[in-house]
Amino acid sequence: MTKTGTRFIHLPFARWLIAEGTILIILSVLWSFESRLAGYSALLGGLIYVIPNAYFAHRMFRFQGARNARLMVGDLFRAESVKLALTAVFFAAVFILMEPVHAPALLFTFAVMVVLSSALRWFIQPQTQR
């Protein structure tokens, strides 16, 4: 039920992941000038955002079209709940399992990825195709 009529939304997953990965690697390299631990923590901070966000995008576009509007909105709410829960779990896992951790690098990279990814969605928008 992903198509309604002849039009459907094509998600530019590959372009999003390439752009986010490039930004993440640049930030990690910049942080690694401070220390190797900071670079590694920055990489983890970016991944904590990228993985739940990819799940959110995948889940949100499972249903498309006006006929599936209720299912679409239900999936939007579920995807957002799972995204927030996954983020909290990943943060907890990193802070518990990874010792030591460079917290400023982790949180800064995470915050930058959150802001840049929102802008990225605007510049690389999903396209409606026939």
Dihedral sign of CA atoms 109, 115, 118, 123 in order? negative
Of 14 and 66, which has the nearer Cβ to other proteins?
66
Q: How far is the CB of 18 from other proteins (least distance, A)?
A: 18
Question: Least separation, in Å, of the C-beta of 13 and other proteins?
Answer: 13
Q: What is the closest distance, in whole angstroms, from the C-beta atom of residue 94 to other proteins in the complex? A: 8
Nearer to other proteins, 30 or 112 (CB): 112
DSSP output for the chain: ---BTTBEEEP-HHHHHHHHHHHHHHHHHHHHTT-HHHHHHHHHHHHHHHHHHHHHHHHHTSS-SGGGHHHHHHHHHHHHHHHHHHHHHHHHHHHHHSSS--HHHHHHHHHHHHHHHHHHHHHS--EEE-
Comparing CB distances to other proteins, the nearer of 28 and 64 is 64
Positions touching other proteins (CB under 8 A) are 4, 7-9, 48-49, 56-57, 60-61, 64-66, 69-70, 72-73, 76-77, 80, 83-84, 87-88, 91-92, 95-96, 101, 103, 107, 110-111, 114-115, 117-118, 121-122, 125-126, 128
